[in-house]
Chains A and B, each alone.
Chain A
Amino acid sequence: MKAFSFNYIVVFVVVIFFSSCDKDPVIPNEEELITTFLYVLTPAGGGTPVIMNFNDPDGDGGLAPMISGGVLQSNMSYTGLINLTNTSVNPWVDITEEVREEATDHQFFFIPENVNLQVTYDDTDTNANPIGIATTLITTNPSEGQLKIILRHLPNKTAAGVNTGNIQNAGGETDIEVIFPVRIQ
């Protein structure tokens, strides 16, 4: 057999244009993001509102969110209003409005832990089920603990207990879950 001949080696050149492949990716507009959550509690009959605030302008990563809870008066009734904003886009987007537009697919749940307060719904969707953007918060004895607020997307609003604010059977996906320190004095 003949020795291996280099004549048969085909010159193999693949031109890769490394230089022509510079990209200029566009940074997505994070339309869906909720950067700011406000729970504004106005004492019945007026007065200075208590504002609970969860603020995370850069979203999931980056810097940790800033959370400030509230100090409430005992045996007092407050009207509560939730306000959601996306400040990552310009102009800012009012997410509360988007939630209201899809009210049948959303519900807020208010879960007090070690604080003597109770939250009831003041608004309903087209099926007469609660939403939770507008609420009434009633405090009783002085105590200190936290209030967990959850927004569920596509919950089963007809499941047992869900329309009175019990999250147990609600299912769905959590869009928001924030915990505020609360003191009742």
Chain B
Amino acid sequence: MRAFSWTVLMIFIGTFSLFGQECSITLTGKVFDHATHEPMEYAAIGIVETSSGVMTDSAGSFIIHGICPGSYHIGVEHLGCDPVRVFLKINRDTSITIYIDHHGELLREITVSGTQSERDETNTQNVFTSAHLKNQAGQNLADITEQIAGVYSLRNGSGISKPVIHGMFGNRVAVINNGMRQAGQQWGSDHAPEIDPASAGSIRVIKGSDAIEYGSQAMGGAVIVDAGTIPKDPHPHGFVGYAFESNGQGHTAFANLSKSGTYIDWKWTGSFRKEGDHQAPGYLLTNTGVNQTGTSIQLNFHPKESIHHELFYSLFHTNLGIFAGSHISNLTDLESAIHREVPFQISENFSYRIQAPRQKVTHHLLTYAGKKFFSPDKSLEWSYGVQSNHRQEYDIRRGELSTTPALDLQLWSHQAQVKLQNQLRSFKYEAGMQAGWIDNVNDYETGILPLIPDYTKGSGAVFLQTKVPFKNGIFEFGGRYDLQKIKVWAISQSLPREILIRNHTYHDMALAIGVLVKEKEFGETRLHNVLIRRSPEVNELYSNGLHQGIAGIEEGNWSLKPEISNKSILTQSVRIDNILFAEASVYSHLIGQYIYLQPEDELRLTIRGAFPVYQYKQEDAWLRGIDFLFISDFSHRIELRTAISFIRGTTIKNQAPLSFVPPVKWSSRFSWTIKDSNRFTGTRLSLEASYTGKQKHWNQEEELLAPPEDYFLLAPKFETAVRTGSDFLHIGIIADNLLNVRYRDYLNRLRYFADEQGRSVRVTIRYEF
């Protein structure tokens, strides 16, 4: 796991009544750690324009005298962290408070201006901030979220991964992209979220349930991607970067540029990534290349102090290869592939070529959001977003058909929302309404009966969230109701083929209660409980056909009933001064009528041989686990961070293990920060060790192959920032799987066919101006 850099969190600018004389203005301030609220000693505060600088004292305070009126960039640096810069207009004596994020893992929210409302504090959230994200160029969304305790990735080879939160994924984890529920093809383990992390300003993982605002899809948790705020700086700032990854000979170029004005602020991001065949220890993983481009534009318009408008557009395009050796047909093929030392269909020569089987996905997102403040505590927000998701999957086919996709889906999605935030004395509430429309169309030119039929889905929802502070804590309560109408145009299995139109109406709801208690000296306790009714999705109701990847026929079940889920999380954090921080989360997730794929007793005979048939069925299930995080700063220079997660999932009736429940995972990172010099700052050496256990609880009746053995990986990392004038050149080097260990991962479908990729050295250079 990568080091968290710090970020400026909140800048409250308070002004003193006295006007300063020319060049006699005093800037005073305090620097705090946002997570612990401890004052930060030895933070270097400098005015870039005048090269004057001071250090904070043991109370985190600083004073700079003799400033002329004007606009300045204030640089904030602290040992071992990414330098941070804020822009200030100083016309009189000014006092500022800067919260920096020294322990990013602990944060529950990032707020850049004091006006944004706090989010639900009782929920367990983890945040990746921009400074941290910038160091992750060339990674997938799930590779980044995987660094959080309790979050795993479900993979299909090296290029496709989706987040798994507390054992839930797909239809049960909401991915929120700039306020809109990401509308892609969430079904199937081989469909990754269509999001470019390079366009994100922050990525938040909510392990509790944020179902009140995001609906029942957030039952297992949510991944929230935001473009983030635009720095309040009238000069163009940003960064350009390049990353090279040795495994797959991957090249990633990325850039970010932003500027603020009196009325309009803008930000642009762009990234391009090209990777070739990856390498497992001993052989090449042929056809595992990726070509990916992403770009985004964000425009903020604020004609008045009390009104904000935001327009955001993003484009994500990817063309990625599926490992050639994993392309099998029937059960016999799968069994012979499983027992091979070296997979079929591998090539001796490295290549960037991407051939069938491959996936081509283009995702557009356009959102508009507005917010009006009536008073500091009362505001109204409204938003509308439209998404287009075009997914084409190419298979190896006979004759001229190989240039025709085997799956070609176009999904349009519209979402609109209004939300009112208000406060009555200390009682805060938020009430909103949402409406959505989804239209999914198959291209019939594929010449294959579609796996997911054409459908439309209309939805409407109302929700209310309240927050009541008490003596040393906060009590939260929320409720939501959803109405969903689905219309499906399914194609009959029998001859002659005909269109069967079916309508479904579902009522979903959610109720959440949370309590946060802060013990001043010691830590805090959070308890969160959410009850959700989730109706089945179209893939669970109607998917029909052969999943090439799993050598199985998947059958939907249109008589499925909604799931009733109750998830409780208790989180206790403890801190001792600034030296030790520990957090433990215990959770229990009960799901009545849990919908999952169960194999039928008999194989189905087709012209391609025999296939197991998996049908969506329902059974009561129980998932429970513990996430544990321990951070110790032995000194300002040495830090030890350890995260452990355990999870178990069984059916209630027979205590039979559920599939795809992650095994135990332990990871530790030891980092050593080298003293800053005039030239180098934030120089840090770290070593990460991670252990993933063998999943011993698995269902022999449902799985074709026993889970793989446990494995241990080492990843050393070096990072530094070189000062060039007032700008910085950031350099990072990381070696993943340093020992080139041969291993397979239980949550990677590739495990049937090949080992995971071997050693990979990634070098990232980023020039920040």
Contact = CB atoms under 8 A, between A and B. Distances in A.
By CB atoms of chain B within 10 A, which of A9, A10, A59, A176 has the most? A59
Interface stretch (B265-273, B310-318, B414-422, B687-695): B414-422
Interface string A10-32: 10101010100101011111111
A166 B24 CA distance: 91
Nearest to B487: A21
A62 interface: yes
Given A8-B374, A58-B495, A60-B604, A28 B450 contact: yes
A107 B454 CA distance: 37
B332 A25 contact: no
A37 interface: yes
Interface stretch (B29-37, B392-400, B592-600): B392-400
B484 interface: no
Interface in B490-544: 491, 493-495, 497-499, 544
Given A25-B442, A177-B608, A153 B493 contact: no
Interface stretch (A72-80, A95-103, A114-122, A135-143): A95-103
A14 B456 contact: no
B396 A56 contact: no
Interface string A141-185: 000000000100110100000000000000111111110000000
By CB atoms of chain A within 10 A, which of B345, B396, B420, B608 has the most? B608
A61 interface: yes
A178 B608 CA distance: 7
A177 B454 CA distance: 31
Range of interface residues on A (Cβ < 8 Å): 35 or more
A171 B442 contact: no
A54 interface: yes
Contacts of B398: 32, 95, 98-99, 102, 153, 175
B382 A62 contact: no
A57 interface: yes
A97 to B, nearest CB: 10
Contacts of A171: 344-345
A56 B606 contact: yes
A173 B325 CA distance: 10
A34 interface: yes
A30 B332 contact: no
B396 A173 contact: yes
A99 B447 CA distance: 18
B506 to A, nearest CB: 15
A92 interface: no
Interface residues of B, number: 64
Given A10-B382, A28-B449, A172 B344 contact: yes
Contacts of B546: 60
A128 interface: no
A29 B485 CA distance: 30
Contact of A56 (B329, B433, B447, B607): B607
Contacts of B345: 154, 156, 171-172
B473 interface: no
A25 B608 contact: no
A145 B639 CA distance: 69
Nearest to A34: B607
A44 interface: no
B553 interface: yes
A57 B378 CA distance: 65
Interface in B315-347: 327-330, 332-333, 344-345
A98 B608 contact: no
A58 B344 CA distance: 32
A111 to B, nearest CB: 11
Contacts of B494: 58, 62-63
B208 to A, nearest CB: 28
B27 interface: no
Contact of B397 (A1, A32, A95, A174): A32
Given A32-B401, A34-B607, A60-B546, A174 B435 contact: no
A102 B420 contact: no
B424 A25 contact: no
Interface in B420-459: 420, 422-425, 433, 435, 437, 439, 441-442, 444-450, 453-454, 456, 458
A153 B420 contact: no
A42 to B, nearest CB: 23
Interface of B: 327-330, 332-333, 344-345, 374, 377-378, 380, 382, 396-399, 401, 416, 418, 420, 422-425, 433, 435, 437, 439, 441-442, 444-450, 453-454, 456, 458, 485, 487, 489, 491, 493-495, 497-499, 544-546, 553, 604-611
The 5 nearest A-B residue pairs measured at CB: A177-B609, A171-B344, A174-B329, A61-B493, A14-B435
13 contacts: A8-B380, A10-B380, A25-B442, A25-B453, A25-B489, A25-B499, A32-B447, A59-B449, A60-B604, A64-B605, A171-B344, A174-B330, A176-B608
Given A23-B441, A25-B442, 12 more contacts: A21-B439, A25-B453, A30-B447, A30-B448, A58-B495, A60-B604, A61-B545, A101-B399, A154-B345, A173-B328, A174-B333, A177-B608
